[in-house]
Structure 1
C-alpha cells in the first residue's frame, strides 16, 4: 500500500496540527494533522461521519476547534468566521450551492464580494475575464434559475476566484455533473494548481480522486487513518483505508431480465406550474418486476416532476389516471397512501424534511411511512411494534446511531439514508422508487445500499432509480435511460450502451446508437 506523499514544501500553504473538536457524545475530530503545499490537489477521504465536514468548517471559520493549531502560510491563525477565511484567500464551494435563483450571476457574485468591489454592472467585465481565463465561461446578466447545474457550479467557483483565492475547498463537486462537465472542471482545477492555488478535494468517487489528486489524507472515526498517493492505489486499497475492510466495496452485480410488467407510464405529459420547474413531454416507460431501471439526467430536467407524479404528491385528473398504472391498475389520480397500499415504497431525494423529520426520533420516523404495516390499531399507535421496527432497521442495515430514540438530525447523511431505505424495504414493496440513493454517501454505505437494492430486486420487486451518478446507475441497473428537458430517451440494456451514449442522452441527443438498437421503453 503506497504510503508516501508528494515532496513536502518548506512552508505548507495550510497546516493543521493536532486539531480536535468534540460535540456532546461525539469526538468529531481527534488530533488531526494535515498539510497542503502550494499548487497541490489534496483529497480528503472518509466515510460519512468520519469528521470531514467538521474539519472543513474549522478551516473555513464556520466553527472553531477545541484544541490544536491551524497554520496559514507558516503563521498560526485563529479563523473566527468565513469572512476572515476569505480575506486570507480561502474559498469553499459547498455540496449544496448557496445562490439566489432569482438574481443574476453578477448580482450573486457582488453579494459575496461586498460593496467595496463594485456594483453588479461594474463587475461584469471581471466576471467575463476570470471565467474565460479558467475555461468556465459565464454570462453575467443571466438569471441563476436559467443555468444548468454545471453552470451554477461555475458561478460558485468564479465567485471564489475573484477573491484572490489561494486555497479552494470543494465538497463533492462532481455529484451533479455530466461526464463532460466533470472533464471541464478537472481541466480548470489542474490549471489553478499549475498557477499555485492549493485545492482540497472531498469526494466519494474514488476513480476521480485517483485521476485528479496528487495526495490524499484518509479519515476514519475522526482520526487520520493514513496518507497515500491516489494514482498509485486501487479502489479497494483506498476503500480499505476508509472503512478498514474493502470486501464487497467494489463489486459487479449480475444483471436481470425481470418478469411481468408492473409499472407502465404511457404518454405522460404534464405542465409544471412552477416558473423554475420542468414540464414533462410524452414520457413512455415500462418497469418489470425483478429488474432495476436507472434514469440518468442533470438535475432540473424533469426528475422532481416525474417523482412527484409517481409518488402521488402530484396527482393527475381522473380522466388521465391511466397514464400511470401499477400492475394494470390506473393510479395516476390516487393519493400517496393509496399508492402505498398498491405496493409503492418511496425514497425521496431530500433526506431531512422529505424523507425524515429532523426533530423526530428514528422510532417516530419509522412510523411516518410504515403506519400501514400493522403499527396502528383502532386509531392507536402500537408503540412496541414501532420500536421493534425501528430497531430492526438499525440492526439489519447497519445504521450507526445511539438508539431508536435518537433524532433523525443526529445521524450522518449516509446513516440516515440507510435508515430511510431500510424503512421502505422492510415494507416488502412491489415497486420501489429511489431518488439519488447514495448522493454524498461514503463508499461503505453506498455498497450496503446497492446490496440492499439488488436483494430487493432478486426478491421480485420492480425498482426505479433516478440519479446523476452514471457509474452507480451502470453498476446496479439492468436497463437505463436519461431525462433531458422533460423528455425521456428509450431504455437500453446497460450492456448495450456506454457512458458516451448516456452523456448524449443527458444533453438531449436521443439518436439511436448504430452499434446496438434501443430496446422498447
Structure 2
C-alpha cells in the first residue's frame, strides 16, 4: 500500500523562531494520526505547509508516493487535502453558503450548495443555517462552518485542528463515528487536539513535536494521558490546589435579563437569572450558539439594551453602563475571540496592554507611559510562560495558545473583583491549560467572583463550584459540581430540564 503523505526534513524559520526543524511525518491511507505538542511547538506551521499556506525553507513532501510542491491551498485542494484552521478563514460580510462557495468552481449554484450544506451538517450533527452572515456567528459556529466546508470536499486527507470544542459529548461521539467511517473508507486524518483522552480513544498513531523537532512516534491507544503529557511537555501537569472557603457576598447579579434578538439570527435571552459570589467559580456550559454570545455582550457592556438593574455589578446597577465604567467597578473580561477582540493583531503585546489597563499606571495627564506598559507586558510574558519575541512582538505573531495565555494573564494581573472568561483554554496545551486554570482558582481563593463560559465539560468539572447550562437563550437551574454528572449536563445542554426550576438563583 502506498503511503498517503510523507514529510522529510521539513524546516521553516522565522526571524525570531525556528518553527519546524527537520520534521518527519508519515501518514498511511485510512489512518487517524494525531500531531501532539505544546503551544508554539510548530504544529500549526507544519499543517499550513501541508496545506500550501506556508512554504517550507527545506525538505520534501511526498503525496501518494510522488514528490509534490504544494504552492498554495488551491493546489492542496486539487490533490485532495482539506484543512480546518484554528484561526478561521471566513469573510464576515458573506453568508455561510457564500463563504463555502469561494473554494468551489465558479459555476456552483448557491441554492444547491445550501442544500448540500444542510444535509452534511445534519449528517454530522453540526447545526448550521446556510443563509446566516458570518458576522452573526459565534466562534463555535464559525468552526462548524469550517468543518462542514472541509467535509463537503470529500478529501483524501482531512486536517482537523481542535474540532470537538463546539460539540456536546453525544455529538463528539457522533463525530468520532463519522471520522472512523471516513478512515475505513480510506480517508487519512491528521488530528490536532490537546484533549489527550480524545487522542487515545480515536487515533491510530501519534507524532509528538516539541520546540519544532520530532520527539517521538507512538500508538496512543497503548499510552496513558500521563505518558503522553510527559512526551509533550516533559512532565505531567500539576494538580490544581483549591482552598476550601465559603463564598462571600454576591458580586455579579443578573436579574430577569430579557433581550430580544439584535439581528435575525441572534438568540433571544429569556429571563436569565444568575448570581456569582465572591470566592466562587460558576461554570456555564452549553453548545455554542445558544445565547452565550448575547449574554457575554450584555455582561461586558457591548450590548446596553438591558434594564439598568438587570445586571448588578458589586452592588451597582450596570445594565446600561459602557465597558469602561464597568471596568472601573472591578469588572474583567476575556472574550472568546482572541484576534480582533481580545487583542489587536497588528499592535504589539505592550500596546495591547492598553485595551484593559487604562489607569494612572499606564496613562499620565493624557500621555501613555511607554516604559510602564512594556514592563507590564514583560511581566505577563514571564509569569504565564508566553512564547513570544518580547513585549514589542505583534499579537498576530503568537500561536493561538500563547496569545490566549497573554490575554488571560493581562486580565488576571488586574486583580478584578469580577472576572468573566469565555473559553479560557480553547486550543491551549495541557501544561498551559493547567496553569491558566490554577491562576483562575487562585483568583477565586483571593475572593474574586468568576463566571467561566466553556464548552469543555472536563474543564468546568475541574474548577467550577457550581454549574449552569444555557440552551436556546434559557438558563438551567444551578447545581453544585459535586452533584452533577457529564450525562446530566449533556442532557441539560439539549434544553431538557424542569422549566419550573430553570434559572433560579442560589
TM-score normalized by structure 2?
Answer: 0.91
Aligned to 2:163: 173
Q: Name the counterpart of 1:6.
A: none
Cα distance in 2 for residues equivalent to 1:394 and 1:457: 22
2:229 to 235, 239, 245: 239
- Partners of 1:336 and 1:39 lie apart in 2 by 50
Counterpart residue number, 1:279: 268
Q: Secondary structure at the match of 1:112?
A: coil
Partner residue of 1:372? 359
* 1:208 aligned residue: 198
Three-state SS of the structure 1 residue aligned to 2:103 is helix
Preserved CA contact (<8 Å) 2:11 2:20: yes
1:45 aligns with 36
CA drift at 1:348: 1.4
The answer as to whether partners of 1:104 and 1:140 remain within 8 angstroms in 2 is no
Match of residue 489 from structure 1: 476
Contact 1:501 1:513 in 2 (8 A): no
**Following the alignment from structure 2 to structure 1, what is the Cα–Cα distance between the partners of residues 500 and 357?**
43
Tell me the equivalent position of 1:291: 280
Number of residue-to-residue matches in the alignment: 504
Q: 1:218 to 1:92 in 2, by over 3 A?
A: same
- What is the deviation of 1:377? 2.5
Give the structure 1 partner of residue 488 of structure 2: 501
Q: Which moved more, 1:94-103 or 1:431-440?
A: 94-103
SS in 2 for 1:80: coil
Distance 1:493 1:195 in 2: 44
**Counterpart in 1 of 2:131?**
143
| Deviation (angstroms), 1:375 | 2.4
Native 8 Å contact 2:384 2:409 kept in 1: yes
Match of 1:427 among 414, 433, 453: 414
SS in 2 for 1:83: helix
After TM superposition, give the deviation of residue 382 of structure 1 in Å: 3.0
Cα deviations across residues 134-186 of structure 1 (Å, max 9, x unaligned)? x4379999535699998876765554455452111111111111111111100
Give the secondary structure class of the aligned counterpart of 2:354: helix
Verify the 8 A CA contact 1:131 1:137 in the aligned structure 2.
yes
Aligned to 1:322: 309
The alpha carbon displacement at 1:51 in A equals 0.7
The more displaced of 253-262 and 493-502 is: 253-262
Distance 1:518 1:502 in 2: 15
Distance 1:289 1:125, change over 3 A: closer
CA contact (8 A) 2:334 2:422 kept: yes
TM-score by length of 1: 0.88
**Secondary structure, counterpart of 1:12 in structure 2:** coil
Alignment of 1:59-458 (within 5 A): 59-96=50-87, 98=89, 110-115=101-106, 119-120=109-110, 135-136=123-124, 142-144=130-132, 156-157=146-147, 159-248=149-238, 251=240, 253=242, 257-316=246-305, 320-372=307-359, 374-458=361-445
- Contact 1:257–1:478, Cα closer than 8 Å, also in 2: no
Write the deviation string for residues 223-245 of structure 1: whole angstroms up to 9, x where unpaired: 11111111111112111111112
Quote the offset at 1:35 in angstroms.
Answer: 0.3
